[in-house]
Structure 1
Amino acid sequence: MNLQETPPLAPTQIELPLACDALGEPFRELAADGFALGGFSWRHAAKDTQRPVVIINAATSVRCRHYSRFADYLFANDFDVITYDYRGIGESRPTSLKGLKASWSDWGALDFEAMLKRAQREFPDQPIDVVGHSFGGCAAGLGASGRLIRRMVTVGAQFAYWRDYAPSHRWRMLGKWHVVMPLLTMIYGYFPGKRLGWLEDTPAGVVRDWSTPTARYEKRPSGRDHHTRHFAAVTAKALAISISDDPYGTIPAIERLLNYFTHSNNTHLRIAPEDIGEKEVGHFAFFRSAYQATLWPIALSWLQNGELAPGTPGRTVPRS
């Protein structure tokens, strides 16, 4: 089903070979508490204050390298790009995760905030946009400098309230993420997700935030220490993309997070796999290069124009 609205500008798009998998230039950035974060920058040689820089916020325990092809795509379409790993993950992982102080709120208030500061410093006077996957959309509301964000695209963005999970998957996901994961974390001092094939190894504080069964972010363990008022500072024009077969990103889950962004201009786009000729997409596939021709242009159009292009697949969800 196609949207009926017809915005004035369609996306201008340069496609990349599907095999493209180059990384940007590596960097190290210190967060406000001195923790060293690792990431990659895609930077055009010629400076242009009209060119936006996009910060990509990863999903929980997903390495920033997962988004490198999407970053290449944005770079080819005249964006500068920053990808990075939260503390404890990938390029930002210390030797041991045991005893590491890291929580969801640290990932937003310290790590994402550091990237906003880096974007200001390394790309002066350029507009700053954000792409947030899963928890990465929540992280965008936790930085004190969220007012800097011009446009934002989130994909499956929520903060794992178990009652929002898709009913057909709910009890299995509850057992996996809210029972087994915290139990293993108690035993090992961190969640050994990599050896289980369940994402990356994850700091204990993040696990506590994820597994706490409350509908309010400020009731999560680290949420009590970081006021959610920073969400209200975000005035970006925001597109929240959800996929109908994503068991995490149900409509209630997406709307629950969007309701924290009280001063942004929010649009929720719901896409079914059949809208793009697919049988399934799920929670993680959006950023795979197989969707370069079908899903990536939706994000690109929003970042370029702040609008959905004519013929965009899916439907907009009425805001309550």
Structure 2
Amino acid sequence: MKKVLFASTALIATAGVAAADSGVNFSGYGRFGIGYQEDRVGAVTNIVTPSNTATSATSVVVDTDDAILVSRFRLNIDGFTETDGGVRFEGRVRLQADEDSSTGEANSAGLNGARFSVIYGGLRVDAGNVAGSFDNLANYYGNEVGLELFAGQYSGVNYNFLAYSSTGSGANAVFFQYAVGDFAFGASYDTRTFAVNGSEVSGDRWDVSATYTFNNITAAVAYGQTDSGVSGVSDPSLTVLTLGGEWGDFGGTLFVADDATEVTATDGTAWGLSASYNLGAATTLLFTYGDGNADADLQQVAIGAIYDLGGGASLRGGIGVNDCDICDSQTVADFGAQFNF
């Protein structure tokens, strides 16, 4: 039986260190370097101004340098056990600290919401802070560029799908995947809260996926929808098709989506592609392009490189351009080091 790998960076575990006979595993990575955003937007803060008659607050944007120190420390903590019948139970929490991209200052580390898993044969069921079918879809993310993975082929998608939260509590949802032979099937479900006419209502969000691998090519399709249950309120949906494969030193992915947000500025078709090429001498070149036909769809074009230092350490960086029909073009770039543990 072939194993179908989860595509989400939320579920990828790097080589870790297990405490002997404890049923606990630690894994993760660290990264740090310089990140550049043209005309970076700083944080918005309120300045309170007292006077003889009243006290007023004015919102101002704090100036931030275009180039800042970027960093991340991620530690996955996995507890696990396996029954005599071969059923594996797992639980994960993640400790993560990132920089504040709007101020350039460091943030404190904090634990996210827990994810629980039951695995038996080709069946996996996740509950809690989980990734849904899109977040797990093979080749959805493609070959992302940059130390911070700042550009991807999916940039034209605006639908809010179920995703794993590295720094928050998550959606408290359910996801399952079943793999048999070259096929894999997945689905997820959670409830969402909507603001309708000043009141909060609860709705349903669900998605399904199918993946097939043949030789060196993997094809995947997923469909998801959010149902508010309220008459007159839009029920957005997303359909995604991906293709990906490897041919020697070259790897590539294709991406197309029907992004039915039912909002004029973002509703439409999104598409993209990405590629990787191994130059040898421990160097890999990356390229990604994403776009959509709606006015507010983000277009990203970027190139990057990874230089493997050995021992799980590497130098990474990239440069690209963000643009859309109703926004100004913005150059983005970064460079730094990453080490896995």
Give the TM-score normalised by structure 1: 0.25
Task: Give the greater-gyration-radius structure (CA).
Answer: 2
Structure of higher RCO (CA pairs closer than 8 Å, 6+ residues apart): 1
Give the TM-score normalised by structure 2: 0.24
Larger proportion of helix: 1
Larger proportion of strand: 2
